[in-house]
Amino acid sequence: MRPAAKPMLTARTEIGGIELLERIAEEARRLCKEANASEPFYMPDWSEAYIRAFNPKGKLVLFTVWEGERLRAYLPLILTSGLVSGLPVRKLTSCASQFACRFDLVCCTGDERREVLPTIWREIGLLRKWDVLELLYVKEGSAIDELLQLASIDGHSVARKLAWRALYTTFQKQSDGTEPWLVHAQRKFRANLRRTRKELDDLGSVSFQHRSSADPEALARFFQLEASGWKGREGTAIACDPARRLFFELVATAASRDGYFSLDFLELNGKPIAGHFSLVWNGRYQLLKAAYDESYSRFGPGHLIVLEALRKLGPSGLCELDFIASPKWDETRWASEERDHYTWFAFSKTPYGGILHLMRISGRSAIKSLLRGFTKKHPPANSN
């Protein structure tokens, strides 16, 4: 008997609202697991949370590739308008917020991928509604890297800009019994951790509380703790913005449902003095938001909770601590390896697209080059 013919790939472009993502959510989650997506942020729940919280009236453009009824790739983008170097543009941009920090096209693996990626790029190229494709929060080595290479081959002007480098460190079991997350830490820092923990113990009962469910009361405690310090005073805390709070509540619920949520507290006599809103994904402890009680800052509660979290979750198979966002000085105590994150640009193959590329990319590069040359020839008077 002749084997059944393999279904052909079909590409779809749909423009609408959040209902488009809701319709494919189950298939999209299945594809993420099948493709072993390296980040939880690529699950459809994160794009849904972004739309509900920050852009409920936004125009979603959902690109998908199907093999029969099986989803093989999906890319949710937002169609918006704005300015590039003072010129009006229609942009397709990442369906993600700064709080997710990472965004990608989710695509199947193996030999099939080589056919699926060009299929989805052709679908994007055929859409005549955009002047600039601006993809933010793209980690080095993502599928979008491959997608934009295809755009370049197709004749589009393409560029990328380094956005930030996130710190991380990997763990390996040590034969001498040293805690793997402290192997690369300086001796002085390890001693300081022991000293401050002892001083904190002298004040009363110190405990570490871990939750893997999106308990509303526990979430409220974390939001309150974060808002108690400088973030609250500057208005950047989650609790200061209803949209921001809704986003974190939605992703906590989704992560809790799928088993990768981690809400952690370091408590003194039952009172939280440090907290983490984190994810545990494929053996990685990913710190999304941290908070601490500034009245206990001399004890370094932010460092102590990192240590306690790794001690608690490490035995379950943790192999990495990932700080996700732009590095802060205190994170260098724990990690020194870096992951590059980029903003990718692709410009339409129209005369206007060429002008935008010249203004946004080529023009800026030329100006920077001229300024560097001028500075070399005319150094500042106090340069010596």
H or E segment at 354?
A: helix 351-357
H or E segment at 307?
A: helix 301-313
CB of 72 within 8 A of CB of 65? yes
Q: What pLDDT score was predicted for residue 366?
A: 44
Percent of the chain clearing pLDDT 70 (strictly above): 92
As a whole number, the mean pLDDT across the chain is 91
Q: What pLDDT score was predicted for residue 2?
A: 56
pLDDT tens, position by position, 92-126: 999 998 887 899 999 999 899 999 999 999 999 99
Q: Please compute the mean of the pLDDT values over residues 134-147 and round it to a whole number.
A: 95
H or E segment at 243?
A: helix 242-257
Which ranges in 43-112 belong to alpha helices (H)? 44-54
CB of 145 within 8 A of CB of 104? no
- Minimal CA–CA distance to 204: which of 265, 297, 267? 267
Q: What pLDDT score was predicted for residue 52?
A: 96
Structure tokens at 268: 């003194």
pLDDT at 5 over 70: no
pLDDT tens, position by position, 53-68: 999 999 999 999 999 9
- 172-318 matches 9-166+340-371 in CATH topology: yes
Question: What are the domain boundaries of the chain?
Answer: 9-166+340-371, 172-318
H or E segment at 17?
A: none
Q: What pLDDT score was predicted for residue 364?
A: 55
Q: What pLDDT score was predicted for residue 6?
A: 67
Q: How far apart are CA 95 and CA 36, in angstroms?
A: 20
Structure tokens at 254: 């989704």
Q: How far apart are CA 275 and CA 223, in angstroms?
A: 9
Q: Which of 66-70, 333-337, 343-347, 376-380 has the lowest mean pLDDT?
A: 376-380
pLDDT tens, position by position, 300-344: 999 999 999 999 999 888 999 999 988 888 899 999 999 999 999
* pTM of the predicted structure, to 2 decimals: 0.90
Name which residue leads in pLDDT, 355 or 362. Answer: 355
The CATH number for 9-166+340-371, chosen from 3.40.630.30, 3.40.1830.10, 3.40.50.720, 1.20.1250.20, is: 3.40.630.30
Q: How far apart are CA 364 and CA 129, in angstroms?
A: 25
Q: What pLDDT score was predicted for residue 86?
A: 85
Name which residue leads in pLDDT, 75 or 378. Answer: 75
Domain 172-318 = CATH 3.40.630:
yes
Instruction: Give the pLDDT band (50/70/90) at residue 384.
Output: very low
Handedness of CA 39, 23, 150, 356 (dihedral sign): negative
Instruction: Give the pLDDT band (50/70/90) at residue 268.
Output: very high
